[in-house]
Amino acid sequence: MIPMVDLKRQYHNLKKEIDAAISDVLEQTRFILGPNVSALEEEVAAYHNLSYAVGVANGTDALLLALRACGIGDGDEVITTPFTFIATAEVIALLGATPVFVDICPDTFNINSCQIAERITAKTKAIVPVHLFGHPADMAPVVEIARKHNLKVIEDCAQAFGAKYNGKKVGTIGDVGCFSFFPSKNLAGYGDGGMVITNNKKIAEQVKMLRNHGSAKRYYHKVIGYNSRLDEIQAAIIRVKLKKIDQFNEARRQNAVYYCAAIKSKDIILPTTISDNEHVYHQFTIRAKNRDVLAGALQQKNIASAVYYPVPLHQQEVFLNLYNVSVKLPQSEKCAQEVLSLPMFPELSREEIRFIADVVNHAS
């Protein structure tokens, strides 16, 4: 069986360091907001050349707390993409705001920046671009539009740790960057975890307070907050992996090169990297009109595949019921019918990639 991601291989490669890091946490018995959380925050901030990083419980909370720290609330509108995991829009709704969906560019699966301006209203307060599958969204026009209309830009970097846009790491281009450390992510723990990064001291302090029950000083509470603290054991594990993240991402890029060379079928649309971007291939996502047949052929050969995402958010029942969404977003709708993600992780072998590609070539 070739899985979508083989966490065991990476663990075995890092076993000595990870086991030592976990053991050290157990010996210190400082499990909540301990030294590893603080150290990881410093290391992630330094990696991005920013002043602040705040660890939170998961990637969804990173978005939620970042949006709230940016002042998003009841009656506001936030522009985002419909082609993403529901958390991106879910947090907007949780804050009483309305997600406004803009169609995607089919080559990158990211928000089409050319269509953002026409969706801005007097209620618009922020834009949330998603760096989907590890490819950076087109940020220059997003930032330009945001500055023109005095909007906040919150980058959803859940799938793109280490990706670069015009030489700048994602998460450093807008006002705030939000990461997930879910086990399958490029930089991951062995449970939930998230991080908010920014150069804005006020936003960082607000997120830090919100994650800890609205408290900047123990038992003194300024606002209603959340229990959203990054776990100390997860922070210790992530610190081990952070040292190797650039190496892991380069291995993913090399795997993508092998895939693209091995998949010969003209019926397959391969993923691309737009000039001056550095893709980190959280997913290797192809497009095929016979997607379901292809997935079945892979399954017969014990090769995993996945559809990210089968239903765009503007067509999800929850948003249809909440907002009576009636917008047509043809590129998102078409991609949802054609996308198929193949196994992708740093330890994937060339032999496995050739085997997967052979099945794809013969089935398409």
Question: Phi-psi region for residue 60, left (φ > 0), alpha (ψ -120 to 50) or beta?
Answer: alpha
What pLDDT was estimated at residue 364? 83
What pLDDT was estimated at residue 324? 77
- Where among 204, 224, 242 does a domain terminate? 242
Structural domain for 233, as ranges:
7-102+109-242
Q: Are residues 237 and 150 in the same domain?
A: yes
Q: In DSSP terms, which residues pair with 155 in a beta bridge?
A: 177
Tens of pLDDT along the chain (364 residues)? 999 999 999 999 999 999 999 999 999 999 999 999 999 999 999 999 999 999 999 999 999 999 999 999 999 999 999 999 999 999 999 999 999 999 999 999 999 999 999 999 999 999 999 999 999 999 999 999 999 999 999 999 999 999 999 999 999 999 999 999 999 999 999 999 999 999 999 999 999 999 999 999 999 999 999 999 999 999 999 999 999 999 999 999 999 999 999 999 999 999 999 999 999 999 999 999 999 999 999 999 999 999 999 999 999 999 999 987 788 999 999 999 999 999 999 999 999 999 999 999 999 8
In a domain? residue 2: no
Residue 268 has φ and ψ, to the nearest 5°, of -100, 130
Q: Are residues 350 and 211 in the same domain?
A: no
What pLDDT was estimated at residue 325? 73
In a domain? residue 1: no
Q: Are residues 250 and 222 in the same domain?
A: no
63 contact partners, CB below 8 Å, separation of at least 6: 87, 88, 91, 128, 154, 156, 178
What pLDDT was estimated at residue 13? 97
Q: Are residues 137 and 276 in the same domain?
A: no
Q: Are residues 209 and 229 in the same domain?
A: yes
Q: Are residues 94 and 65 in the same domain?
A: yes
Alpha carbons 280 and 56: distance in angstroms, whole number:
23
Q: Are residues 236 and 266 in the same domain?
A: no
Q: Length of the chain in residues, anyone?
A: 364
Q: Are residues 228 and 172 in the same domain?
A: yes
Q: What is the CA radius of gyration of the chain?
A: 20
26 contact partners, CB below 8 Å, separation of at least 6: none
Q: How many domains does the chain have?
A: 2
- Where among 242, 273, 301 does a domain terminate? 242
pTM of the model: 0.97
CATH number at residue 262: 3.90.1150.10
